Amino acid sequence: MKLLKIDGAIALVTGANRGIGRALTEALLSRGVKKIYAAARHPESLGSLRDVRAVALQLDVTDAQQSRAAGAKATDVNLIFSNAGITLNSELTSANVIEQARREMDVNYFGALQLLHEFSPILARNGGGAWVSVGSAAGLTNVPMFPTYSASKAALHSLTQCARLLLGAQGTSVFGVYPGPVDTDMVRELAMPKAPAREVANAILDAVESGQEDIFPDSFSREFGRQFESSPKASERHVAAMIAAMAAGSAA
């Protein structure tokens, strides 16, 4: 794997307006990127991001036309963080579970696939660079509280594995990120310890610079990652036990 330094890189972050994406954007700027394309569905939501190196980019990853426009503008990029994602907290028995599952898959999987399709040739022309796919530990072992979200992140994990094999031929390093609960709006109502987004972002960048292909950027995910690598079935049982304990605590 060819290592890439953050300092001097030209980066693009999707979902840069909040959560991990916002924390990544700020961390990249603090680490000396030459330029960063901060992409969001509504660029005005980038708000207080004031830096001459930051270029606001309108990008709904589910919109093919906007993806093509982003590719036409960000022709110099060599470090991409495919981060945009949603969770709709669908229950399998809810009336709109199919609709919500399709929306999650559209953003979390097809959006990433569309971005990869648009930008992998750009990375090749710019010497290879790096692609960082922000997934979830829930994509490795389904979390029953988020069943359809977990499924969409499992699809993203599969895409990341494929991209690593195929894009390696053009010199592109591909990283998969599998955080646990992070203190963002997405899981605000989840009653369990959450890692600060800023710490998670810096751990991701440290791992990218060191060439760590599978990134577990917080204490929960690091423990989970060790267990998953040892025994995927054991990690499934661990999640089941955790959910059961949480349910018992809420009922008490």
Q: Is the pLDDT of residue 22 over 90?
A: yes
pLDDT of residue 57: 94
Catalogue all structural domains in the chain, each as residue range(s) with its CATH number.
Answer: 10-220 (3.40.50.720)
Q: Is the pLDDT of residue 242 over 80?
A: no
pLDDT of residue 144: 85
pLDDT band at 187 (very low <50, low <70, confident <90, very high): low
Catalytic residue among 37, 153, 178, 194: 153
pLDDT digits over 214-239, tens only? 999 999 999 989 988 887 777 777 77
Report the C-alpha gap between 83 and 250 in whole angstroms.
32
Q: Is the pLDDT of residue 245 over 80?
A: no
Residue 233 annotated to the active site: no
3-state secondary structure of 199: helix
pLDDT digits over 66-119, tens only? 999 999 999 999 999 999 999 987 788 888 999 999 999 999 999 999 999 999
pLDDT of residue 158: 96
pTM metric for this prediction: 0.90
Residue 149 annotated to the active site: yes
Strand runs labelled E in the chain: 10-13, 35-40, 54-58, 79-82, 130-134, 173-177, 214-215
pLDDT of residue 241: 78
Structural Rg of the chain based on CA atoms: 18
Torsion of CA 38, 42, 48, 51, to 10 degrees: 30
pLDDT digits over 143-171, tens only? 888 899 999 999 999 999 999 999 999 99
Catalytic residue among 109, 149, 178, 194: 149
